Structure 1
Amino acid sequence: MPYFLLTEVVVGVVAGGVNALDSGSLTLLSYAASLPLVAVTALFGPVRPMSVAAVRAMCEVPGEELADGPAHSWAARGRASAWWTLHLGIGALISGMTLAVPPMAVLLIAVPVVGRMRDMRLGYGWFATDAAPYVAPLLGIGLLAGLTLCAVGAGRLLAGTAPVLLGPTAADRLAAAEERAADLAVRNRLARELHDAVGHALSAVTLQAAAARRMLERDPDFVREALAAIEDTTRRTVGELDAVLGLLRDGDPARPDTAPAPTLAADLDGLLSRTRAAGTTVTAHQDPGPAGDWAALPAIASREAYRIVQEGLTNALRHGAGPVELRIRVQAGPDTAHRELEIVMTNPPAAPAEDRETRTTGGRGLRGSAERAALLGGSVEAGPHGDRWRLRAVLPLAGEAR
């Protein structure tokens, strides 16, 4: 109606200052002139979300067939403009028919029962015939039926064209896929943090408690050390768990790096001491390279390296037997222009007859370590190596994370 009223005034002025509504041809011309205005306004962003909401509410079109959000390309804007123009153009015709047809139909249906209306010609000579009082109601009912069919047909036409004109474009699908991929990456990151932190803590605490129980009578000093390690491990893990759950609760996937993550510089020695408190011998050889300090490593490399070492120690505690040898060093990369961090951890595998934890599920930790290394462009290898089990990770220290 706003578009039509505007063009009706303009057409009336151009036609010599007449009222365009007094002329059928000028009325149709005003209607035709309003459609380009409708199409132009539909190119603006809010039109598509508004149209999609209307279609979902009134046309019963499945939501997955329609695009969400404003159009991001001219092709999408053009399709949304086409549907908006079709919607308003057909809606204007149905609205005009709805205003004119019902009163006329009621009048025709009332002809046989209202005496004064029987002789009304209403501009049609055949109303004055003897059959007019009986034909008029049928004509009125036919007009109402035609109006109903037109409204239903218009609704089905709009519902049928909505998935084509308001459906997601290739750009929309790409944006949705990127959003899902980003969300999945955040979820995987948080899952790795939970697995590494909680999994290591549970394995270490279990073995520390078992060792303390066995040495309760023979070595009270060892028991006190094991209990202190249990206290320290659980306190750290509760803090990490609370921070990760806070991220999940707040629903802020845009800042995955705010998840708690100790580094080699901050907690490598503590990690090794807590592992030793479980009764496992760990021999560590550390070579930070020319810098002479793990604090000189890039923060993300130091963080991911810590988690990889933690996962290797967890596997050694759960599935290994005997001492663990750990070597961490900074060395020249393959092109000699960049450095890389190498982590090598070996330990004897547990014999099948030993009373060790039976693995019913697993592999997530090693897969998570491989994902961590891949983020930096590195790699992780794990498997039998001679008569020992070996975990080897290589993390480039130059360039950005992938």
Structure 2
Amino acid sequence: MTKSKYFFLIIILGALTALAPFSIDMYLPGFPAIAKDLHSDIAAVALSLSSFFIGVSAGQLLYGPLLDRFGRKRPLHIGLLVYLLASLGCVLATSVEALIVLRFVQALGCCAATVASTAMVRDLFPVEDNAKVFSMLLLVVGASPMLAPAIGGYVSEFLGWHYIFIILTALAAVILAAAFWGLPESSAPDPNYSLKPGPITRSFLSVVQEPRFTTYALTGAISFAGLLTYVAGSPNVFLEIFKVSGTQYSLIFALLAAGLIGAGQVNSVMLRKYKSEQLIVTALITQTIIALVLVTASTNGWIGFSGTLVLIFMYLSCAGFIFPNASALSMAPFSKNAGSASALMGALQMGLGALASVAVSLLSKIDHTTFPMTGVMAGCSLLAMGILLTGTRVIRLRDARKTVLCDLSA
């Protein structure tokens, strides 16, 4: 593969991966305007974010088998078309209930891009390069939290929040064209792959029974839920508690995202010397310590606005190491069922993210402090660390048992 082709594939796959976070981040600064226009409040509008997470989680379980049965491109094109039409529907929404439903449908289309891009990384690149590729994709994805809130803030302020979804519609059209003409079919359709419930269930079960997948997919998903907790809780924390403007919020969001992006690129360099297994353990332990300091200090009023920003920046920087390594380690055991594995991994991420975002929205209604956001973030880090340490121990014991059996048989 030539360098130019390699770069071109990374850009398109990155755009597919970035569609979901761009759809999330771009309309966050418009929450106050949406709430006012639809005669609701920010907490109710935040449920449209939760419905998006639920849609992406549920939809990925649908697209995984379709990608293994019909190849990668056809389901991807259909999903992007659904996303495009749902985005147009969001433009016309006249109630917060309608927006919540349309965001769910939008997510069902969007998740095709998420699953396909992850599966195509496994298809198109050597296994040993997957962590580096995911780190490079994180650079493209990282443009979302830097650009999307800024664009959304200015668009909402000067044109109105409806234009946010007009821009998302145009973005989907561009990505659909790029995927149609620029991506190869990385996995031939498999007519023997059954779409009946029984075989699909067995395919998913075979993925779940792989301890490396279970350990690293759950670790990455719970840690990702911590990130989405920040995304869901940040409008309330910064716009309502710290009283920043929509434009200032956009700049803050971009600044904090720089930690995630920068860490992802440092991770790519660190992989030359260290293994993914080493990096993810160190990053998660560090993130857990930071999260506990954040929730304790902010709840007791020991830090203000600046201290909160610094600790969240550090928390997100750790996530830049966790996500690419967790993704690569989760997908490494699979080639034949890469679509199903990708779907399960994505469903776990967005499903747990949806639960975390709903928890933040509900807690914010009764506790008007930073605790709903910082408390859930700390809980996610603690749980992810517990699963990682327990799971890696199980993997080591399993590998040792296999080695002993091989020696005995020899």
User: TM-score, normalised on structure 1?
Assistant: 0.22
**Looking at both structures, which has the greater relative contact order when contacts are Cα pairs under 8 Å and sequence separation is at least 6?**
2
Rg larger in structure = 1
Q: Which has the higher helix share?
A: 2
User: TM-score, normalised on structure 2?
Assistant: 0.21
